[in-house]
Amino acid sequence: MYESLLRNFPENHCPNWTCPSCQSASLAIQKGTFHFEVIPESVERWKKMDGELDDIRLVFICLLQCERAVCKTVVAVSGTGDVHENQDYEDDERHYYLFQARLFTPTLPAFAIPTQCPERVALPLTQSFSLFLNAPGAAANVIRIALEELMTALGVAKMRTLHARIEALSQTYSEHQSALMAIKWLGNAGSHELDQVNSPDIEQAYKIIEFVLRKIYAGSTESVAQLVARLDARFRPPPTRT
């Protein structure tokens, strides 16, 4: 996985995010482009007798630029922020701000899709990258489409359900059944419940997908057992009693 797109950051330094053009971890905030404002309604909540600092909400915009001389790609970013109390503020500011990106233009990749991966599988995954920060349920749906396309790419015939297609995987790919089934449960949840899937869930799914695609198309031997168990625990329906 690339550096998490969910990471909070201060206004003067962004995480080591990956450039969408050259795929290097070389993006930096352009000097003078970071601007933020406080949402007035959140300040009013904070001013109440029982108000807390975490009631205050910020919004921001900035530009990132790739620091590689041969690239120099520019990315527009917008998002939200929070106010935090500095526990040791004798020599520093009493409060500090942390921000989280909600939208990148152009979209930043969450992980590297193997070059050998078929375009019909890669395309919906790439589309999901633009959704998972703001609409994780929609991202889960698009990931499910990628899973259907992967079944087709692996030679599994069209069937009534994705569940049946995963179970019909050939022996060559049967080791991936539990991982792919966990992704399927996530996609089902995204289809049926608006707020059941969150962005960290999608990020966990990306880790599983990356492992599976690397094993199938790039010969990786890594394990995803713990990640699969987590998604199963959150989204797999309980067994029905007979």
What are the tens digits of pLDDT across the range 18-77? Answer: 999 999 999 999 999 999 999 988 777 777 757 677 788 999 999 999 999 999 999 999
Tell me which residue of 32, 103, 16 sits closest to 66, measured CA to CA. 16
Q: What is the pLDDT of residue 49?
A: 59
Closest CA to 124 of 205, 53, 48, 38: 205
- Integer Cα distance of 73 and 67 in angstroms: 8
pLDDT in tens, 220-241: 655 556 667 777 777 787 776 5
Helix 119-129 with 199-218: angle, nearest 10 deg:
160
pLDDT at residue 241, rounded to an integer: 58
When pLDDT is cut at 50, 70 and 90, the band that residue 95 belongs to is confident
What is the pLDDT at residue 237? 78
pLDDT classification of 155: cutoffs 50, 70, 90: very high
**Percentages (nearest 5) of helix, strand, coil residues in the chain:** 40, 15, 40
CA distance readout (Å), 72 to 22, 64, 75: 9, 9, 10
Please, which pLDDT band fits residue 94 given cuts at 50, 70 and 90?
A: confident
Model pTM score:
0.84
For the chain, how big is the Rg over CA atoms in Å?
Answer: 21
The pLDDT value given to residue 222: 58
**What is the Cα–Cα distance from 230 to 236, expressed in whole angstroms?**
10
Residue 196 vs residue 146, higher pLDDT? 146
Rounded Cα–Cα distance for residues 160 and 198 (Å): 28
Q: What is the Cα–Cα distance from 46 to 190, expressed in whole angstroms? A: 33
Task: Find all residues with CB under 8 Å of 233, minimum gap 6, and list them.
Answer: none
Q: Are 201 and 236 in contact (CB under 8 A)?
A: no
Dump pLDDT digits (tens) for 101-140: 999 999 999 999 999 999 999 999 999 999 999 999 999 9
* pLDDT (average), residues 163-191: 92
